[in-house]
Amino acid sequence: MANVDAPFGFRPVGELGSNIQNGGTSKYLITSGDGQAIFKGDLVKLETTGYITKSDDGDAVVAIGVFNGCFYVAPTTKKPTWSNYYPGSITPASGEIEAFVYDDPNKLYEIQTDGTIAQSSVGRNADIVYAAGSTVNGQSKTELDATTASAGATAQCRIIRICEDPSNSDISADNSNWIVRLNEHQYYADVIGV
């Protein structure tokens, strides 16, 4: 049965070791006027300035977590605004742009692949393939890069298991959904930022 091709970025689904999943996020700041859009489910990284920004595929730095929306005072309406995504180039009327990030390094995520990943990839690492998300619902379209699943390579994600979603659990077809943990995480690595 073919899997449904509908990428959604990283979706939190639990904790490593069946620890309690509380859905908690931490608050970080986005630089006023940052031109990069960040969608719900995108990886974000911490800059040396102390602000976060989008973390694309190919970044040689570790992620601090997964973006889950932002809050700011809109520059045109002057009203407090919640958004599933940061559209980019926002200079708030007042205050900072507050971003909410799943930053627990033990959090597990569901993510769709851009190709086929075999059961033998469990325990291996893979990078992501970034794609601009939807400006309609703010959802990411980032996928797991099936071509990078490798036993020894350093990569952004560690593959834990196949997802149990009946619409996307056929490992013989493209676009299956997998459970992963962030392998290159700010709070696992001895780095300050980019």
pLDDT score at 70: 98
pLDDT tens per residue across span 30-67: 999 999 999 999 999 999 899 999 987 655 568 999 99
Answer yes or no: is pLDDT of 111 > 80: yes
pLDDT score at 82: 97
The model's pTM: 0.92
pLDDT score at 76: 94
pLDDT tens per residue across span 20-40: 777 889 999 999 999 999 999
pLDDT score at 180: 96
Average pLDDT, the chain: 90
Query: Which pair of tokens denotes residue 135?
Result: 């400006």
**Residue with more model confidence, 153 or 141:** 141
pLDDT score at 184: 85
Q: Strand 43-46 relative to strand 52-54: parallel, antiparallel, unpaired?
A: antiparallel
- The percentage of the chain sitting over the pLDDT mark of 90, rounded to a whole number, equals 73
pLDDT score at 59: 57
Mean pLDDT for 97-126 is 94
